[in-house]
Homo-oligomer: A and B are copies of this chain.
Amino acid sequence: MAHVAFLGTGVMGGPMAAHLLAAGHAVTVWNRTRAKAEAVLPAGAGGRVAASPADAARGAECIFLCVGDTPDVTAVLFGPDGVAGGLERNALVVDCTTIAPAAEVEHAAQITAAGGRYLDAPVTGGQKGAVEATLSFIIGGEGADLERARPFLQAMGKRIFHAGPVGSGQKLKMVNQLVCALHLVALCEALALTKALDLDTTQAHALLTSGAARSWALEIYGEKLLHDDFAPGFFLKWQAKDIRIATEAAHEMGIVLPGLDLTHERLQAAVRAGLGDEGVQALFKLYR
């Protein structure tokens, strides 16, 4: 079995790292808040908590990241005690964070210069997918590197999409997030309209999930909203960040996507309203 590192063991990364451990790999975990890394390794499960990303990288043939935003990835890779400081010759870095495609191209160039290999590998499927190992991985990078990562990815997810060269995984993830964000707006406005019309919300949820209005967002987040459950499966601030990246990309390319712009405006408004550390479904609070 292989020696791998997992950096960032939050809502997504925690269960992902646990699947690698369960598959029998020697897993070194690191998290900014150490207690979250320790929680991945129950007594007797094996594995090790590293003191820093550099420490985690030492001896690892594959290093997974699942952190927050672009500056977090850059800091974990190249900051003080970053991955680059402990990188083994030919080690493969796999970034599962959702960040800007151009930043991944830059990260890949620096890791390659340091003697390593790089894939961007954002995921979709939510916390549920991470816990149940049913995530989809969206890969940017070279085919040979993907083949090295494949056994690890298969322990954490169900489907693997090779979108193209480094950065392409993040590009295709943008498309995915655009859809997720608009579905979230649809859910929130549907609930607001249902309440304004004085209709039964449980019945409305049953109807909407039975026909042409059906979506993953309506099923999963709709169910949470029925019970006023705003706990984070996916943090609203990360959805806002993902959409900021997609909006910037669309504007740079000069394409007009008013639905995307609307989700950007709504999610930024939600962050300004202090909802960033709640689950994405807390967007509904803007409509109350």
Contacts and interface: CB of A to CB of B under 8 A. Distances in A.
A186 B259 CA distance: 7
Copies of this chain present in the complex amount to 2
A253 interface: yes
Interface string A140-179: 0000000000000000001101011000100110111011
A26 interface: no
A179 B172 contact: no
A262 B260 contact: no
A44 interface: no
Contacts of A275: none
Contact of A189 (B178, B196, B203): B178
Given A171-B197, A176-B207, 17 more contacts: A135-B211, A136-B207, A163-B203, A168-B199, A171-B199, A174-B197, A175-B193, A175-B207, A176-B213, A178-B193, A182-B189, A183-B215, A192-B257, A193-B255, A211-B216, A258-B266, A259-B266
Contact of A257 (B164, B178, B189, B259): B189
A287 to B, nearest CB: 8
Given A129-B212, A182-B183, A189-B182, A196 B250 contact: yes
Main secondary structure on A side of the interface with B: helix
B210 A159 contact: yes
Contacts of A208: 175-176, 179
Interface of A: 124-126, 129, 135-136, 138, 158-159, 161, 163-164, 168, 171-172, 174-176, 178-180, 182-183, 185-190, 192-194, 196-197, 199-200, 203-204, 206-208, 210-218, 220, 246, 249-250, 253, 255, 257-260, 262, 265-266, 287
Nearest to A197: B171
A212 B216 contact: yes
Nearest to A163: B199
Given A161-B207, A186-B183, A262-B259, A193 B214 contact: no
A193 B101 CA distance: 14
